[in-house]
Structure 1
Amino acid sequence: MSYKIAVASSDGKVVNQHFGRATQFLIFEVEKDNYKFLELLEASAFCEFGEHDDNKLLSAVQALKGTRAVLASQIGKGAAQALRIKGIESFDVRDLIEDALEKLIKYYSNIDKSIK
């Protein structure tokens, strides 16, 4: 079973963008214990100075449809809830993308094994 992970990163090396301020998401496909970069998804920030544009939030969530999870350096409760409603988990992560993906793959591998 393969799945996709979205990563909020400005440099392609570190999970370093707040979900609501992200200007891009790197999309990775995970197959078993391996992952590969699929595409760069451009985004419009919807959070500025504590104010949120709900329409842009919904657009961001819709653009991430089909991903299993989002990794961001920070994500607010409202955005996390909007993602969860669409079946997308979110995680606050401050790490190298490679390390964060490996940890998440182990986490999902354990979950998926327990479901079988």
Structure 2
Amino acid sequence: MSIKVAVASEDGKYINQHFGMASQFLIFKLNDDGTYKFMELRENKPACSTEGHSELSMEESVKLISDCQVVIASQIGPGAIDILLENRIDPYIAPTFIEDALKQLAEIIKEKKH
């Protein structure tokens, strides 16, 4: 079985975007054996800006990745975490290389199954 993971990254290498400020999400398919494959890039209108944040935009960001089971960002605020969990998307904070975060996530999933 595999899961879809949304990653908030500007450069495609490092998880360097706050969930609410993410201008894009990279979508990966993560397999049980820890292998993964890049599927697509989804452009996003960030929910947060210098003027504050918009609940409607936050809902749109969540809707954009609603087919994913997990989102990984460099930071995720408590309000966004609540909305993600309500939509059955597990939030992970991992300001690290995408490859490392996906490997760690595969290990966490494997441990949960045992």
TM-score, normalization by structure 1: 0.93
Deviation at 1:50, TM superposition (A): 6.8
Deviation at 1:109, TM superposition (A): 1.3
Corresponding position of 2:10:
10
Distance 2:109 2:6 in 1: 15
Distance 1:29 1:87 in 2: 17
Structure 2 unaligned residues grouped into runs of 5+: none
Distance 2:21 2:32 in 1: 31
Distance 2:50 2:78 in 1: 16
Distance 2:73 2:51 in 1: 17
Q: Which amino acid aligns with 2:83?
A: A
Corresponding position of 1:19:
19
Distance 1:12 1:25 in 2: 9
Report the CA distance shift for 1:108/1:81 in structure 2 as closer, same or farther (over 3 A): same
Between 1:30-39 and 1:76-85, the stretch displaced more is 30-39
How big is the alpha-carbon RMSD for the aligned residues of Structure 1 and Structure 2? 1.0
5 Å-filtered alignment, 1:1-116, equals 1-33=1-33, 34-49=35-50, 51-111=52-112, 113-114=113-114
Distance 1:53 1:27 in 2: 23
Deviation at 1:56, TM superposition (A): 0.7
Q: Which amino acid aligns with 2:50?
A: F
Deviation at 1:49, TM superposition (A): 3.1
Structure 1 unaligned residues grouped into runs of 5+: none
Q: How many residue pairs are counted as aligned between the two chains?
A: 113
Report the CA distance shift for 1:80/1:103 in structure 2 as closer, same or farther (over 3 A): same
Please give the secondary structure, in 1, of the residue aligned with 2:26: strand
Identity in percent: 42
Distance 2:50 2:75 in 1: 14
Report the CA distance shift for 1:50/1:93 in structure 2 as closer, same or farther (over 3 A): farther
Distance 1:109 1:66 in 2: 21
